[in-house]
Amino acid sequence: MKKRIAIITLVLGLIVVAWGIHVNLRDKAAIGIIGGADGPTAIFISKDADVDFNEMKEESVGKEWTTQEIAELFKIKADADCTLVTCTGMFDFAYDRVGVILYTDSKEGYIHVAFMGAEGNMQHCGVEAELADSPEFTYWGNGEVTFKVCSKDGTSYTQKISFSVDEERVNFVSEAIED
C-alpha cells in the first residue's frame, strides 16, 4: 500500500512539473532531500524541475541583513572617530559582502564608504567632500553605490563608488556625476 501511495505521489509530482507549474526553491531543495532515499527518481525530477543552483548558493551565502544588524556590526568594528550616517544591505552579496556603510571620520574630515563582510571585515574608500542635507545613499548592485555630496565651493553632485575584488586585490572606482 505504501508503494502505491509513493508511486501515485511521484506521478502527480511529475505531472505538475510537466505542466510547468512554478516550483520554488524550497520545493527544489525537498527534491534534493528525496535523492538520499531514491537517487535516480530525484535526479530525474530535479532535471525536469530546472533547479537553479546559483539561486540556492545565494540563499546559503547568508541571510538578508537588516540595516540595524549592519549598523551594530559597524559600531563594534569602527574607530571611535567614525560616525555612522546610514547603511544598507547588499542584496546581491557582491564579492561576499553583506552591507555597505556611509560614515564620516572626524579625524580625517572625509566621507567614507565601507563595504562589509559578514565577519565585520571592511574595505574603505574616502571622498573629500561634505554630505548633502539628504545624501540619498543607494546601493545599486554589483558593488556600486551612489550618494549626494557638496564640494567646498557649494556645488552639489552625485558621488558614485564602485567596489570590486580581483583575486587578492581590492579595487575602487570613484566618479563625480553632476546633478
Dump pLDDT digits (tens) for 1-58: 666 676 676 556 656 555 554 444 445 445 444 444 444 444 444 444 444 544 533 4
| Least confident piece of the model among 20-34, 52-66, 120-134 | 20-34
Residue of higher predicted confidence among 77 and 10: 77
147: closest CA among 157, 137, 139?
Answer: 137
Confidence bin at 98 (pLDDT 50/70/90): very high
Overall pTM surpassing 0.75 (yes/no) = no
Q: pLDDT at position 12, please? A: 62
| Arithmetic mean of pLDDT over the chain | 77
Q: Report the first-to-last Cα separation within the chain, whole angstroms.
A: 72
Report the amino acid identity of residue 80. Answer: A
Q: Evaluate whether 25 touches 7 at the Cβ level (below 8 Å).
A: no
**126 has which bridge partners?**
112
3-state secondary structure of 157: strand
